[in-house]
Amino acid sequence: MTQQIVLATRNAHKLEELDRILKDHGVAFELLTVDHFPGAPEVEETEDTFEGNALLKARALAQFTGIPAIADDSGLCVDALNGAPGILSARWSGAIDNVDATNRELVLSQMVDVPDDKRGAQFVCAAAYVTPEGQEIVVRGAIEGRLLRDSIGTNGFGYDPIFVPVGFDITTAQMTPAQKDAISHRSRALTQLVAQILG
C-alpha cells in the first residue's frame, strides 16, 4: 500500500512541486491536501519564526488526519528592512484584494531611498514533517537575491516580480516553472525534507 502524506495547503502549485521532488527521489507517495479532509483546522500562524509556523501547521494536520503531514512557511526577508516582511510576507500590506501586488508596492515604497547596492533580500522557506506518532523534522531553504524598483514578469506569485536571484539577470517571475523550481527556496527546503524522511 502506498504511504499517504497530507500537505498542509490548498495550493495546487505546492502540491505539484512536492510531487515532482518525490518522484525525482524515485518515491511514490500518495499526496493529499487539506481539501481531502473536511473540517481540517485552519491554523493561525502565531509563532515568530518560519520553522515555528510550519511545525504548528504540520502538527495540527497530523493530529487531525492521523497520517504524516508536511507544512511549509515562507516569505521574503529584506536586508534594508531588518528582515521584514519575513513571516508577515503574505499579509504585509493588510490588503484583502489584489494582495500580492499591494504587498509588493508597499515593500517597494519602503525601499525607495535604498541604493541599488543595498537592496539585498532572501526568499526563505521552512518545511516541517510531522507524524501522528510524534516524529518531527524541520528544515530551511533559502535563496539570495536583490530587489528591483519595479515589477517585471508575470509568472510565479507574491514577490517574484521584484526579486532577482544571485547569478541571474531576470526575476523569478520571468522564469519558467522548471527554472524556478531548480533554485527556489521551497524546492531547496522540500528536497532536504524528502531526503531526511527517506533517510
Q: What's the confidence (pLDDT) of residue 21?
A: 76
Residues 6+ apart with CB under 8 A from 88: 75
Global confidence as pTM? 0.91
Q: Do residues 177 and 130 make contact, with C-beta atoms less than 8 angstroms apart? A: no
Q: Do residues 142 and 122 make contact, with C-beta atoms less than 8 angstroms apart? A: yes
Q: What's the confidence (pLDDT) of residue 29?
A: 80
Q: Is 73 a catalytic residue?
A: yes
DSSP state of 163: E
Catalytic residue among 19, 24, 72, 73: 73
Q: What's the confidence (pLDDT) of residue 1?
A: 57
Q: What's the confidence (pLDDT) of residue 163?
A: 98
Residue at 176: amino acid letter: T
All cell numbers assigned to 89: 510576507
Q: Do residues 33 and 16 make contact, with C-beta atoms less than 8 angstroms apart? A: no
Domains of the chain: 4-198 (3.90.950.10)
Q: What's the confidence (pLDDT) of residue 87?
A: 96
DSSP per residue over 103-138, as a string? HHHHHHHHTTTS-GGG-EEEEEEEEEEE-TT--EEE
Give the pLDDT of the chain (199 residues) as one tens digit per residue: 578 999 988 777 777 777 777 777 767 788 888 999 999 988 988 999 999 999 999 999 999 999 999 999 999 999 999 999 999 999 999 988 889 999 999 999 999 999 999 999 999 999 999 999 999 999 999 999 999 999 999 987 899 999 999 999 999 999 998 898 889 998 899 889 988 988 7
